[in-house]
Amino acid sequence: MQKNVLDTDLTGKVAVVTGAGGVLCSDMAKVLARAGAKVALLNRTASKAQVYADEIAAEGGVAKAYPCNVVDAASCQAAAAQVLADFGPCDILVNGAGGNNPKATTDKEYYEDGDITAENVRSFFDLSPEAVTGVFDLNFLGTILPTQAFVPQMLGRSGCCILNISSMNAHIPLTKIPAYSGAKAAVSNLTEWLAVHFSRQGIRVNAIAPGFFAAGQNKQLLYNEDGTPTARTGKILAATPMGRFGDSAELEGALLFLVNDKAASFITGVTLPVDGGFSAYSGV
């Protein structure tokens, strides 16, 4: 297999990645495998993760896909037990499962007179309570439950860590997506809480906050059906000092650094932005 950018050696480690059927998290699984880890790819639909497990195996790595619903405690516990039986105890947990729901999203950035009664506009007042709860459950509870399932395998062992996937909008909320922004803010806060809670056990807990990556669920917000960029894309790029979207490969360095127990041995409770400067730019 090809070497990774930091030459991080994870030989003998077991890495678990939730949401591994998606673009960004499947890439993370591949990166961990290239570093030598045995990788468990967890996804609600295991067949989606199996595609990437097969790709890892074709490269000479060790990987297996598992069904796991991250908002169901029993499902998480079952996946943890099976990974333990197949690979041994988990050393690295990447909580990557997450997402948004259109019914928890407003149509407009700003409220305008009459929106509250307009039939063709989803305003703040039309946000579905079930959808908002679902977004929080998927992102926040979907981080807690896998952590509860896999951390017992880390206790009493050295070199273990957790990496959560937050978002740059955890720090600066984006328009239209209040539930997702709030849920990711909760993930960043939870990262700090977990870092303190497990610090005496030697388990480091950090997070990555990706900026805008034109992949998966973001595409419908960034590009029209004909492939042309949306107005929102123009605003995003204007507010990103580097002037472009990120590539999934550009998460590789942050991932390998934070899971490297030598390079990041005294780093815990940190959320690292990988956003082309978006979170640092005031717009002026």
Looking at per-residue confidence, does 158 or 220 come out higher?
A: 158
> Given this model, what pLDDT does residue 2 score?
57
Question: What does the pLDDT average to over 65-89?
Answer: 98
User: Measuring CA to CA, how many Å separate 254 from each of 100, 107, 149, 224, 263?
Assistant: 24, 33, 25, 31, 11
Q: What is the pLDDT confidence band of residue 1, given thresholds at 50, 70 and 90?
A: low
DSSP for 3-71, written as a single string: PPTT----TT-EEEEETTTSHHHHHHHHHHHHTT-EEEEEESSHHHHHHHHHHHHHTT-EEEEEE--TT
> Residue 223 forms beta bridges with which residues?
229
- Homologous superfamily assigned to 14-211+246-274: NAD(P)-binding Rossmann-like Domain (3.40.50.720)
Sign of the CA dihedral running 54, 60, 66, 70: negative
The secondary structure of residue 210, as a DSSP letter, is E
Residue 4's pLDDT band, with cuts at 50, 70 and 90, is low
pLDDT digits (tens, 9 = 90+) for 122-181: 999 999 999 999 999 999 999 999 999 999 999 999 999 999 999 999 999 999 999 999
Helix boundaries (H) for 59-204: 73-87, 129-136, 142-150, 178-197
Question: What pLDDT, on the 0 to 100 scale, is given for residue 226?
Answer: 84
CA 8 to chain centre: 21
Cβ–Cβ contacts within 10 Å for residue 121, how many?
16
Q: Look at 4 and 57; give whichever has higher pLDDT.
A: 57
Strand partners, 62: 38
Q: Where are the domains of the chain?
A: 14-211+246-274
Contact 33, 56 (CB under 8 A): yes
Q: How many angstroms separate the Cα of 221 from the Cα of each of 33, 184, 234?
A: 31, 18, 11
Does the pLDDT at position 242 exceed 80? yes
pLDDT of 6 over the 80 cut: no
> Given this model, what pLDDT does residue 102 score?
93
What's the distance, CA 181 to chain centroid?
13
**Which residues are marked as active site?**
180
